[in-house]
Amino acid sequence: MNTLKPFTDYLLLEKKYSSLTVKAYTNDIESFSGFIQDEFSSMDIVSVNYAQIRSWIISLVEQNISNRSINRKISALNTFYRFQLKIGEIKTNPLTIHKALKTIKKVQLPFSKAEIDKVLDDIIFDDSFEGIRDRVIVELFYSTGIRRIELVNLKLNSLNFQSKTLKVLGKRNKERIVPLLDSILKTLEMYLVKRSRLENIQDSDSLFLTKKGAKIYETLVYRIINNYFSKASSKVKKSPHILRHSFATHLLNQGADLNAVKELLGHSSLAATQVYTHNSIAELKKVHLKAHPRSKEQH
């Protein structure tokens, strides 16, 4: 679709979306375009109306696609039409009147402090390059709350031992500085010694490598976290994001300021950070119930 080239350039260059996000948007729009051609014999998705879009939504529902996934597809389409509006190709966005489908919010339970302590204190990481690397990765996720892709993209020069900080490149190339605990600095030093002894380093700038010397990749990072936490937790989901969730929740439970946690996580708005507060509220309820003088009165 020639219509998509300026749009994808806009997403990559101006909005600074990742190539994976742009690919997902492209797939969704091309899927919609195929539907419009089949159902309405139209090649032009720029001039469609909401009734036609609604037909597509109904077809997605009939395919048993989840409301969450449908909303994501509609979001891609909405971004496309907002771009068309911006460049003057259309006068009104056909999705202006659309309301997102209702979704059941999934509560992702963070790891408990006991579960994290079990991994870091009870499980033995062997003294090999991979063993030390895996321990650093677990510690870094829990002590900084960084995202998986942010960890994958860390460079050697991201580390500053003198200031005890880590420079993280977040979403849309937004940089932030994250403080490092003394304990993680010691493990990082051990890791860097092991890293320097690798026989063949292919990606010399990257902080985290595979044992073959190549830059580490996202699925490997997921497997590392899932592997170690499977030994310590019975939770269904054991992923880097749950460690990020745990980092935020445990800080908030200890009384950390919401704005400070927002900055540490690299969120652009407080609304995104507030997702992590539900466990803190649960903790506050326990304290409130235990401490309030009237909580034990019989009614």
Which phi and psi (to 5°) does residue 135 adopt? -65, -45
Give 215-243 as a DSSP string: BP-HHHHHHHHHHHHHTT---S--SHHHH
Say which of 72, 176, 235, 241 is annotated catalytic: 241
Rounded CA gap, 61 and 64, in Å? 5
Residue 276 appears among annotated catalytic residues: yes
Say which of 133, 148, 194, 267 is annotated catalytic: 267
Q: Evaluate whether 243 touches 170 at the Cβ level (below 8 Å).
A: no
Say which of 73, 135, 147, 262 is annotated catalytic: 147
Which phi and psi (to 5°) does residue 159 adopt? -85, 135
Residue 147 appears among annotated catalytic residues: yes
| CA-closest candidate to residue 238, choices 223, 220, 218 | 223
Give 253-282 as a DSSP string: HTT--HHHHHHHHT-SSHHHHGGGGHHHHH
Say which of 244, 245, 250, 262 is annotated catalytic: 244
Which phi and psi (to 5°) does residue 20 adopt? -65, -40
Q: Evaluate whether 185 touches 110 at the Cβ level (below 8 Å).
A: no
Q: In angstroms, what is the C-alpha Rg of the chain?
A: 24
Say which of 171, 176, 235, 278 is annotated catalytic: 171
Q: Evaluate whether 11 touches 25 at the Cβ level (below 8 Å).
A: yes
Q: Evaluate whether 35 touches 28 at the Cβ level (below 8 Å).
A: no
Residue 241 appears among annotated catalytic residues: yes
Residue 299 appears among annotated catalytic residues: no
H helix intervals, the chain: 4-9, 19-40, 50-62, 67-86, 113-117, 129-144, 148-152, 182-196, 218-230, 240-253, 258-265, 270-273, 278-291
Single-letter code of the amino acid located at 160: N
Active site residues: 147, 171, 241, 244, 267, 276
